[in-house]
């Protein structure tokens, strides 16, 4: 059994990734920590609680950062909908979280089980950065840190021409985390748009499952699907779910090890990854970056979770 700790800014694709982990027979989800990002913290907490209840899980949900480290929050509600879950009329309020503080839960969970926890980061890295600053020893104690973030080795941005949302929303946190020494495995937006696009054929296959979870997955994606089609993709892409697939089954990934930095500031460089493919920075590689993930393997895991 794999022990996952998941940090999320719960919106539509995060919710599908949560379903994949909560429903996988070989995964124990220790806790969910919530970070502001796609939507504000309180909405992300409610979205996570709704998804956990839908999966019949008793995993605890803990609120984390309400703002990025050094900035005011700029959400992605234009992409996912006002409630982050496709504005499809779900009752996303009134549930109670487990309290605590996300960064403390991350530290306590990792230090409480050295070498056993896979931390999966699906949103801006604010909680992870705060946890590391409070207890740098988590870098040695955590088994794996799978991050959905950045544009990958060759990808475009999705919030600016060169920046991906999770790194752009809190670039200072991302810059701290990539230099933390944690065993990072980065799954960028390039992998999502290349290997995790819900084409019309795949959309119809998911709909044909005709289960509560397949209907949920399609409904909450209705706003992001319009956004994705509008920018020329063949359907909505699923960045957090394919990052979760990599966490569950890394054997289907091709990776390369290199040094990555993250640019800060407020200009076009905000949140942009410096990918040192040829070692010109003179810095030691600091992470593994996924360069390809089997689309068939991903959609197989997805369909199993929604069935």
Give the residue carrying structure tokens 């989800």. 29
Q: Find out whether 226 and 86 touch, Cβ atoms under 8 Å.
A: no
Closer CB to Ca ion, residue 132 or residue 167? 167
Stretch that binds ligand RIB, among 163-171, 177-185, 200-208, 255-263 (CB under 6 A): 163-171
Q: Quick check: 172 binds ligand RIB (CB under 6 A)?
A: no
List the one residue from 18, 19, 38, 152 that touches ligand RIB (CB under 6 A).
Answer: 38
DSSP string, 212-262: HHHHHHHHHTHHHHHHHHHTT-SSEE-HHHHHHHHHH-GGGEEEEEEEEEE
Instruction: Tell me the C-alpha distance between 8 and 46, whole Å.
Output: 12
List the one residue from 43, 109, 158, 305 that touches ligand RIB (CB under 6 A).
Answer: 158
Q: Find out whether 260 and 276 touch, Cβ atoms under 8 Å.
A: yes
Closer CB to ligand RIB, residue 84 or residue 141? 84
Closer CB to ligand RIB, residue 4 or residue 141? 4
**Angle of the 239-248 helix axis to the 295-306 helix axis, nearest 10:** 90
Which of these, 9, 180, 174, lies nearest to 79 by C-alpha position? 9
Closest residue to ligand RIB, based on beta-carbon distance = 165
Q: Quick check: 7 binds Ca ion (CB under 5 A)?
A: no
CB atoms within 10 A of CB 98: 13
Q: How far is the CB of 32 from Ca ion (least distance, A)?
A: 12
Closer CB to Ca ion, residue 165 or residue 299? 165
List the one residue from 64, 68, 171, 239 that touches ligand RIB (CB under 6 A).
Answer: 239
Q: How far is the CB of 168 from ligand RIB (least distance, A)?
A: 8
Distance of CA 240 to the CA centre of its chain: 4
How many residues belong to the site for Ca ion (CB under 5 A)?
5
Q: Quick check: 122 binds Ca ion (CB under 5 A)?
A: yes
Closer CB to ligand RIB, residue 54 or residue 111? 54
Give the residue carrying structure tokens 């409610």. 46
Which residues inside 242-281 make contact with ligand RIB, applying CB under 6 A? none
Q: Find out whether 61 and 97 touch, Cβ atoms under 8 Å.
A: yes
List the one residue from 5, 20, 23, 37 that touches ligand RIB (CB under 6 A).
Answer: 37
List the one residue from 64, 81, 123, 155 that touches Ca ion (CB under 5 A).
Answer: 123
Beta strands in 83-173 (DSSP E): 117-121, 144-148
Closer CB to Ca ion, residue 132 or residue 165? 165
The DSSP output letter for 170 is S
Kindly state the tokens that stand for 209: 């499952």
Residue ranges binding ligand RIB (CB under 6 A): 9, 11, 13-14, 37-38, 76, 122-123, 148, 158, 164-166, 189, 239-240
């Amino acid at each position: 059994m794999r022990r996952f700790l998941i940090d999320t800014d719960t919106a539509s694709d995060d919710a599908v990734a949560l379903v994949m982990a909560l429903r996988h027979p070989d995964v124990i989800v220790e806790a969910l920590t919530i970070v502001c990002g796609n939507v504000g913290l309180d909405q992300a907490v409610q979205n996570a609680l709704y998804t956990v209840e839908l999966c019949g899980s008793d995993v605890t949900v803990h609120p984390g950062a309400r703002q990025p480290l050094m900035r005011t929050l700029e959400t992605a509600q234009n992409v996912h909908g006002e409630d982050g879950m496709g504005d499809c009329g779900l009752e996303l309020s009134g549930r109670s979280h487990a309290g605590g503080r996300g960064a403390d839960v991350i530290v306590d969970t990792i230090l409480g089980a050295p070498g056993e926890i896979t931390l999966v980061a699906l949103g801006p890295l604010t909680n992870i950065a705060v946890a590391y600053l409070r207890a740098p020893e988590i870098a040695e104690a955590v088994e794996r840190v799978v991050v959905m973030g950045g544009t990958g080795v060759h990808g475009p941005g999705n919030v600016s021409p060169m920046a991906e949302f999770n790194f752009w929303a809190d670039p200072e946190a991302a810059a701290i985390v990539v230099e933390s020494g944690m065993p990072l495995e980065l799954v960028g937006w390039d992998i999502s748009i290349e290997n995790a696009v819900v084409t019309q054929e795949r959309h119809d296959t998911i709909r044909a499952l005709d289960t509560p979870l397949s209907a949920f997955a399609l409904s909450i994606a209705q706003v992001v699907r319009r956004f994705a089609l509008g920018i020329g993709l063949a359907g909505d892409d699923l960045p957090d779910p394919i990052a979760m697939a990599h966490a569950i089954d890394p054997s289907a990934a091709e990776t390369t090890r290199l040094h990555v930095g993250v640019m800060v500031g407020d200009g076009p460089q905000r949140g942009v990854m410096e990918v040192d493919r040829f070692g010109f920075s003179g810095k030691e590689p600091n992470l593994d970056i996924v360069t390809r993930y089997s689309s068939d393997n991903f959609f197989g895991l997805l369909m199993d979770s929604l069935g």
